[in-house]
Each structure stands twice: as structure tokens, then as C-alpha cells.
Amino acid sequence: MLIIMSPLNQIDAQTSDSIKIENVTFKSEGVILDGTVYKPKNFKVAVVIVHGSGQETRMNEFAKLLAKNGICVLTYDKRGVGKSGGVYNGPEIGTNNIDSTNLNLLAKDASNAVNLLHQQNKNIPVGLVGFSQAGWIIPITSSTNPFVEFMVLFSCPTITTLEQLRFQFYTNGNNDFWENNTEENAREHIKNDPDRYQFIGTNPKVSLSAVSIPGLWLFGEKDIQIPVKFCIEQLNTFKVQGKPFEYTLFSTLGHNTSSANITEPADIAIQWIKQKAIKIEKLKH
């Protein structure tokens, strides 16, 4: 389902002075992770931010944006990065960040972050918001932690890790890729190209099949990191099965669907989160 929402009601916006900022630590799989909680006044919904790939610290600017719009946020330094303990995995240091072992470990980190927010706010709906690589992490966390009540995914794949790599190697970072290639051609390469790396892949459809919580995906049609139309096709299959999954597609955007200069996707996500929180609360009473 393609959703289009009206601009945010600016009456809900809060000033920085009204937001309580609290530094926190929490245990996850034998290490201590370090993060920050942003608590606006009278918030009725909370989220944990899940990183994309790379050596990412806590996402303070995005967290502040959500908090200014009345959403409580926990953002933390990724395992092995910043003030968080543990070992970081990624191609920059010669290790694989998308093998199943690492993705499941990062999913447990997100799950323990959710547990912390839930302990602090037992009557408030808690969800996950993530980017890119989080498309494989968030479904795992959501399928294993009953405290996760919704999910928002910016430029996140719904295909396997191996399929995504085939596409990414084929596009080869060419921003003009879609001007010179067809969807059919891309699908053939995703299906048939040999894998350059051998590892245990992750299929997000397995975890997505196990969840019944609302989900929103935000895509840029010109994305050359993930095959968006293929991913949407997977979501539509789930939609037919009755899953409460939605998406919105931005025809002018690529993989970057959230930045200081690109605000519409975040605005839509914020409004969607607030609407879902209201519905979740009504169902509880």
C-alpha cells in the first residue's frame, strides 16, 4: 500500500528545553552498550533507533528530530563503536557485517535496548526505527521481542543478504544505473549472478512472516543499493496475506531517504508513528 500523509501538525513540536536528555548504559550479550534517551514532555510513544552499516555512533540529530515531535527515543553507539563495548564487524576492517551471526547479534543489541525503554515506560508503545542494513535486523528483533509494537524502515531491504549483494555489485555505485538498465535486467542479475562471498545468508521474509505488528517502509525509487521494486513486490505479497505492512515511494530519491536536506520521509514516518501509537493504545483499552 502506498501511503501519502499531510504535513506534520506543527502544534505538536517541542523545544529543545522541554526535552529531558539522559545518558544510559545497558548489557547485551556480554558487553555494555552506551546510549542516550531523549524524553519529551508527555510523550505517548517511544522508539529505539537501529543503525545501518558502518561504524555508527548514536544518531543524536535524528533522535532530537523525533523528540521535538513528541517521540521518546533511545539511540546508542553500535557494538564496538564509540563508548560501546564489544567488537565491531565490517568490511572496513576485513570482517563481514551481514553474515547471520553478526546480524543476529545486532538484533539482540536492539532487543536489549527495547527492554530498557519498556522498563522505563511500561505503558507506552515501543517501536523500532532503522536504516538500510536494519532491514535485516529489525525483523529479527521484532519476531523475538514481544515488546516491539511497530517498526519503521528507511531504505531497508526485504530480500536476502546474498540477493542484495548481487544487486549492489551489479550497480557498482553507478548513480545513473536506472537510466541505462531495466527492472527485468536487474532481476536477472539478482537471481543468477554468482556470489562473490560465501556465508550464511539472512532472509528477512522468515522473520517478517512471524510478526503481526504494523510496519512502514520508506523507499527512494532511484536506489542503487537495494532493488526497491523487488522489495516492494515482497511487501505486497505480505499485504495480500493480511500483514499490516505499508510503504511509501519517493520517485526523486535514492538510498538516502533521511537527512537534513531530505525531510518528507521523516515527516511521514513521525506522523505514522503517532497514528499507530494511538491505535495501539485504543486496542489495549
Q: Is 46 exposed, middle or buried (0-12, 13-18, 19+ CB in 10 A)?
A: buried
- The verdict on residue 24 lying in a domain is yes
pLDDT of residue 283: 83
- The verdict on residue 31 lying in a domain is yes
- The verdict on residue 2 lying in a domain is no
Count of domains forming the chain: 1
pLDDT of residue 15: 73
- The verdict on residue 226 lying in a domain is yes
The arrangement of strands across the sheet holding 215-220 comes to 20-28, 31-39, 72-76, 46-50, 126-131, 148-154, 215-220, 245-250
d(CA 174, CA 188): 18
119 with 101: CB under 8 angstroms? no
Residue with cell 537471481: 191
- Pairing relationship of beta strands 31-39 and 72-76 according to DSSP bridges: antiparallel
- Whether pTM > 0.85 for this model: the answer is yes
Please give the torsion angle defined by the CA atoms of residues 193, 163, 177 and 180, in that order, rounded to the nearest 10 degrees.
50
d(CA 270, CA 275): 9
- Going by C-alpha positions, the residue among 210, 223, 209 that lies closest to residue 164 is 223
- The verdict on residue 239 lying in a domain is yes
- Pairing relationship of beta strands 72-76 and 46-50 according to DSSP bridges: parallel
- The verdict on residue 109 lying in a domain is yes
pLDDT of residue 64: 97
- The verdict on residue 209 lying in a domain is yes
pLDDT of residue 194: 93
State which residues of the chain have pLDDT below 70: 1-12, 285
Q: What is the CATH number of the domain that holds 92?
A: 3.40.50.1820
- The verdict on residue 1 lying in a domain is no
d(CA 29, CA 109): 8
Range of the structural domain that residue 258 is part of: 10-284
